[in-house]
């Protein structure tokens, strides 16, 4: 009886722990990507010398990410796309007012 209870707990906890660790890594990677997007967007907001649209690839925290800066009305739209730890494509966008 105790062995079956122990096995039930193990078969429940191991997959749940694995899921939590994967989600933690996924959120960590997303934070890095968003932080890098915010950093890369700044020159397009503060310096008038950058032409839009602009696209480039960059390795962030060991993963290749595509950055795109495009005009969106009076705003500049910056997006980053990458493949997360689950091999799913993720995208995040930020907007900013350019310095006039």
Residue 64 sits in which domain range? Answer: 2-96
Quickly state the pLDDT bin for 17 (edges 50, 70, 90).
confident
Looking at residue 99, its pLDDT comes to 83
Q: Residue 61 region, left (φ>0) first, then alpha (ψ -120 to 50), else beta? A: left
User: 14-23, 25-34, 64-73, 85-94: which range is least confident on average?
Assistant: 14-23
pTM attached to this predicted model: 0.83
In the chain, how many domains are there? Answer: 1
- The string over 3-40, giving b where at least 16 C-beta atoms fall within 10 Å of a residue's C-beta and e elsewhere, is eeeeeeeeeeeeeeeeeeeeeeeeeebbebbeebbeeb
Q: How far apart are the first and last CA of the chain?
A: 74
């Amino acid at each position: 009886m105790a062995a079956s209870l122990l096995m039930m707990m193990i078969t429940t906890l191991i997959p749940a722990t694995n899921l939590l660790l994967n989600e933690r890594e996924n959120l960590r990677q997303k934070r890095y990507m968003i932080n890098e997007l915010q950093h890369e967007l700044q020159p397009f907001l503060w310096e008038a010398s950058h032409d839009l649209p602009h696209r480039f690839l960059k390795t962030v925290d060991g993963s290749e990410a595509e950055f795109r800066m495009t005009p969106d009305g009076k705003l500049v739209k910056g997006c980053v796309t990458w493949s997360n730890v689950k091999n799913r494509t993720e995208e995040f966008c930020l907007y900013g007012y350019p310095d006039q």
